[in-house]
């Protein structure tokens, strides 16, 4: 699977509510979300498991995915309309988000070694 296909599969997996941990490196990795900073493979997996347990009805609308692949490393950026339901609080969330990140090819598979998701702020 290409780096670009891996990113698209990550989006589909998020929408399906399936486990996201396998998409991330098990060791040195950092993931910034809209409201968190997770460092290290175990911390990223824990955070993603908690997210999966407390959310539902994800919609991921990728609008500008750009991927550069250099063989063993790739990086990407995207503009994504993102929405989900917090099942614990009973609240719907919807954001225009910016995504960027880095992937590394390991044992024939692409894994995220860095991901950053943020929302633009108007000044």
Contact yes or no for 111/25 (Cβ under 8 A): yes
Q: Give first-to-last CA distance, the chain, whole Å.
A: 40
pLDDT score for 79: 97
* 38: confidence class by pLDDT, cuts 50, 70, 90: very high
Which token pair is 123? 């000044």
pLDDT at residue 82 is higher than 60: yes
Domains belonging to the chain, first-starting first, are 3-17+26-118 (3.10.450.50)
Backbone phi, psi, residue 121, to 5°: -115, 130
| Torsion angles phi and psi, residue 94, rounded to 5 | -150, 130
Q: Is the pLDDT of residue 75 over 50?
A: yes
Is the pLDDT at 24 greater than 80, yes or no? yes
């Amino acid at each position: 699977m290409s780096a670009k296909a891996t990113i698209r599969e990550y989006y589909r997996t998020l929408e399906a509510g399936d486990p996201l941990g396998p998409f991330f490196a098990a060791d040195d990795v950092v993931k910034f979300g809209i409201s968190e900073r997770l460092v290290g493979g175990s911390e990223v997996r824990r955070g993603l498991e908690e997210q999966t347990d407390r959310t539902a009805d994800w919609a991921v609308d990728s609008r500008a995915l750009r991927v550069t692949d250099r063989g063993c490393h790739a990086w990407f950026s995207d503009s994504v309309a993102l929405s989900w339901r917090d099942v614990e609080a009973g609240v719907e969330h919807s954001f225009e988000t910016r995504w960027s990140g880095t992937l590394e090819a390991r044992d024939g598979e692409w894994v995220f070694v860095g991901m950053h998701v943020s929302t633009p702020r108007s000044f």
